[in-house]
Chain A
Amino acid sequence: MTALRERWHSASSAIGRRVDGLPKSARITGLLAFIAFLYVLPNKWFYEYLNIPGLWIPLYTTRNDMAAVLFYCAWIVLLSLGLNVVVGYAGLLDLGFFGFFAVGAYTVALLTSPESKLITQYNWLESPWPWLVTVPIAIALALLSGVLLGAPTLRLRGDYLAIVTLGFAEMIRIIAKNQDWIFNGDRGIPQVGHPPGKYADGTAIFQFEFKPYYWLLLTVIIIAVFLIRNLANSRVGRAWVAIREDEDAAELMGVPTFRFKLWAFAIGAAVGGLSGSLWAGQANFVNSSTFSLENSILVLAAVLLGGAGSIGGAILGGFLVIYIPEWLRSVGDVFGLPETATVFGNDFDVSPTSLRYFIFGILLIIVMIFRPQGLWPNRRRAAELKDRQKEVAVVE
């Protein structure tokens, strides 16, 4: 097992070196080609031909609309990018990330839906606001809730913060479920506004089709990556690394640790809110069931699977946690696998469709055993992990 691990390590780092060794122009061309690929990907005339003949594992199996799958992938990717700032850069374990997502989604829903109680019952608004106007408000409110939650709790360290954030997300969910006077409980808020934009023939671009939303999200992701990258390479980014690696030592270097932790937390919350407003614009309907704990955990799993502290990792992880289960959903059709198995006269459902989360869970465990630093780790994070393992070994 160790030999296998070593080989995997040297192979993956060799690829990294080869990419690093390419001239800048080649790297940029490659990146642009990849981005162009992502933009054409949801088109049926394109993705249907992705299954290279002779390749053992088909890349595309889904019975669903590929654009829908890609939209959900992009949605989780954006959330992972936000959570990566909190967990990966500043090293703060945030288990309630979806709370901020909920704040964003509900803000947009309440302000843009004609069914919103702000309009039908309280006359606070005369008519629904356009979606685009509410997005900055949603981001601002998510950021504010991040600061309000972070200010008293970021003085806590490690496990305590995880518990507080977990509690926060559950609180938001339960408030959304029970405060009927404004949030409509489980019935939720329908007819949430869509993003603006019309085709040449006058029909709206953003309706129920997934493709335009995917393109919108992809564009937002590219902007977010650019901003987060710049931040990570700045003084702020260096302060985060120091805090994550040794908070006391960071303070002794003159880093105002509390302020930078709050920054990371607020930026993460803002990205969560943005993602919530985009999601609400597509879903057209918001109720409390979307904000369950599983989703917070899913995003955290995406960050850790990809490799905490690395933007590429967050993107890869966010993509895989959605794509793998969706891929498994219809892989049975491709290979003609049996749907049920009969053992001692009882029929068991063994189709990959039903077992997809089970298989996905096993895959996650395997990755974490062989590659605890994630699939596309940050160089520093990998070194930190090694250092921690050394400490554990000394204690034993």
Chain B
Amino acid sequence: MLLEIDSLKLLYGRIEALHGISLHVDEGEIVALIGANGAGKTTTMKAISGLHAISGGSIKFEGTDVSRLRADLRVIRGIGQSPEGRGVFPGMTVLENLEMGAYTRRDKAEITKDLAMVFDLFPRLHERRKQAGGTLSGGEQQMLAVGRALMTRPKLLLLDEPSMGLAPKLIQQIFEIITRINEQGTTILLVEQNAQQALSRAHRGYVLETGRIVKEGTGQELLHDPAVKEAYLGVA
């Protein structure tokens, strides 16, 4: 198991946002975490990447407990995240943003190779490589955020709402790229409101409701589950 989360609890001030979540991600998988607004999806991501401290439970990565580790050290271990709302560096150019992704790495030759790989996945970023991150369109920023996370060369890639605010055609495109990244060997944990796309691409999925996991199964199982259909897929 690459990632193993056991009864994870997290407090926002005095309010408990996660009431003991357990989930796991195996190597090579795409796992989707779906749920409504405020269910705790982004919070779970922040707990895994270390942007928010947890109050109970454990997060194991490659068998060792990382739940007390600083966020920047988790990046070095191999947890890369593309944050919600994209979070690209607005004043840096596209290229500088991507180079920032390789901040902890010293292997120049490999960095160049990964840069070529990212430009291959997102030709658009290559066209815009000298443009400031803040001047990109929403879709391009999303690509940049994913590309930048890839530059950390993660073993586990956390994608927080990669389809947020994108046009339907772009959503299709970004999910195709996610599948490609996975086929090239990166394990992915994906948080999505677009449950249809996420579940049809994922090997397995979890349904999160108000800080609890209420359902789990393979992507196809969840996709055809009547309760999931009604709540998240907009089908009666």
Contact = CB atoms under 8 A, between A and B. Distances in A.
Interface of A: 235, 238-239, 241-242, 245-246, 248-257, 379-384, 386-388, 390
Nearest to B105: A254
Given A253-B100, A254-B73, A254-B76, 6 more contacts: A235-B103, A238-B100, A249-B89, A252-B87, A253-B75, A387-B132
A254 B75 contact: yes
Interface in B84-122: 87-92, 100-101, 103-104
Interface of B: 49-51, 70-73, 75-76, 80-81, 83, 87-92, 100-101, 103-104, 132, 134-135, 148-149, 152
B89 A255 contact: no
Contact of B88 (A239, A249, A257, A386): A249
A253 B152 contact: yes
12 contacts: A239-B103, A242-B89, A251-B51, A252-B49, A252-B71, A252-B81, A252-B83, A254-B152, A256-B72, A380-B132, A383-B91, A383-B134
A253 B148 contact: yes
A248 B83 CA distance: 8
B72 to A, nearest CB: 5
A337 B83 CA distance: 61
Nearest first, the 4 A-B pairs at minimum CB distance are A387-B134, A380-B91, A254-B75, A387-B90
Contacts of B87: 246, 248-249, 252
Contact of B134 (A251, A255, A379, A386): A386
A227 to B, nearest CB: 22
B40 to A, nearest CB: 18
A136 B81 CA distance: 43
A4 to B, nearest CB: 24
Contacts of A245: 89-92
A383 B103 contact: no
Nearest to B82: A252
B92 A241 contact: yes
B74 to A, nearest CB: 9
A256 B91 contact: no
Contacts of B100: 238, 242, 250, 253
A381 B72 CA distance: 25
A292 B58 CA distance: 50
Contacts of B73: 254
A117 B37 CA distance: 65
A275 B50 CA distance: 39
Of A241, A250, A254, A390, most B-chain CB atoms within 10 Å: A254
A248 B90 contact: no
A238 B103 contact: yes
Contact of B51 (A248, A254, A256, A380): A248
Contact of B103 (A246, A255, A388, A390): A255
A291 B134 CA distance: 40
Contact of A254 (B72, B88, B92): B72
A255 B101 CA distance: 10
A254 B104 contact: yes
A221 to B, nearest CB: 26
Contacts of B72: 251, 253-257
B51 A252 contact: yes
A179 to B, nearest CB: 39
A248 B88 CA distance: 10
B134 A384 contact: yes
Contacts of A235: 103
A387 B97 CA distance: 15
A379 B135 CA distance: 13
Nearest to A244: B91
B134 A253 contact: no
Nearest to B51: A248
A63 to B, nearest CB: 44
A255 B75 CA distance: 9
